[in-house]
């Protein structure tokens, strides 16, 4: 895969959140030729960037002061809001703050309103694909927020993404990500239903699942089983998915709709993931 090249008017990009998915994203940004500035709570996190062109900031405030675009890939909306509160007095007018984490549209709107007063744009740009896709620079980036800011940041997003889609107004990226996650969990529940029934027949589950993965029943939910979703991480992923489903429920209710049955079935798919994998590996 050819590497994305930074444009002539190259922005300085700040990155916070060198975790499982954020680290390969940050590496890809530097490899695309963007000047990379990073900050991490734990200095040990920076060791993984050895050999990658970058500069380390001593504080969040110092990072904000030297960057044109600041990207956040942290755990929760609360983490994002705390970091933006610290950065905002130091961000340049015309800077862009990007949230690559999963959250609710209401938080994106609140951040955009706060930052707009200081001439700073905000994009909600959650990504899908996990660490494997981040390492292979084939994430899907779902962007909400001002069109001009989204286009300005597009070359940065393309450094680690195979698909960059601007979905519209502030919060639209988060809405898309939550629907994406909800459908994944609904599919997991459907897979579990089929596997339970199949296990009551004389079919062998292993070969059945393999043929379902390549037949017309194929889905990301199927392909992730025993690849990205493994016995060593399934309990953690189940918990993360359940939290995402709760965010989905909150966002849909905030929009004036009742997700009722969808939320219930999605939570069942998330919480039943360990049992599904155990049955397949039984």
37 vs 59, 106, 273, CA distance in Å? 11, 29, 38
Tokens 């610290």 belong to residue: 86
The residue segments making up the domain with residue 104 are 13-169
Q: What are phi and psi of 8, to 5 degrees?
A: -60, -45
Under 8 Å between Cβ of 62 and 38: no
Q: End of a domain among 169, 191, 216? A: 169
- Summarised one tens digit per residue, pLDDT across range 185-232 is 999 999 999 999 999 999 999 999 999 999 999 999 999 999 999 999
Same domain flag for 124 and 32: yes
Q: Are residues 143 and 78 in the same domain?
A: yes
Q: Is 165 within a domain? A: yes
pLDDT of 55 > 60? The answer is yes
pLDDT bin (cut points 50, 70, 90) of residue 158 is: very high
Whether 7 is in a domain gets the answer no
């Amino acid at each position: 895969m050819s590497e994305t090249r930074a444009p002539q008017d190259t922005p300085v990009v700040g990155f916070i959140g060198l975790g499982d998915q954020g680290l390969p994203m940050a590496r890809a940004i530097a490899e695309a030729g963007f000047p990379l500035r990073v900050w991490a709570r734990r200095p040990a996190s920076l060791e993984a960037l050895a050999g990658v062109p970058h500069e380390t900031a001593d504080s969040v405030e110092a990072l904000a002061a030297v960057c044109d675009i600041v990207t956040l890939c942290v755990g929760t909306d609360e983490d994002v809001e705390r970091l933006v509160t610290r950065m905002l007095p130091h961000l340049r007018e015309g800077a862009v703050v990007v949230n690559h984490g999963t959250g609710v549209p209401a938080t994106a709107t609140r951040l955009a309103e706060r930052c707009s007063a200081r001439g700073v744009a905000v994009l909600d740009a959650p990504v899908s694909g996990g660490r494997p896709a981040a390492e292979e620079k084939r994430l899907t980036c779902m962007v909400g927020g001002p069109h001009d800011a989204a286009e300005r940041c597009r070359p940065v997003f393309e450094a680690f993404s195979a698909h960059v889609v601007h979905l519209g107004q502030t919060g639209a990226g988060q809405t898309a990500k939550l629907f994406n996650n909800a459908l994944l969990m609904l599919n997991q529940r459907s897979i579990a239903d089929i596997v339970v029934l199949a296990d009551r027949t004389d079919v062998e589950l292993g070969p059945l699942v393999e043929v379902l993965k390549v037949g017309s029943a194929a889905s990301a939910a199927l392909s992730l089983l025993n690849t990205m979703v493994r016995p060593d991480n399934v309990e953690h992923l189940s918990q993360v998915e359940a939290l995402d489903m709760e965010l989905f429920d909150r966002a849909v209710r905030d929009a004036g709709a009742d997700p009722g049955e969808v939320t219930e079935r999605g939570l069942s798919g998330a919480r039943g993931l360990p049992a599904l994998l155990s049955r397949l590996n039984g």
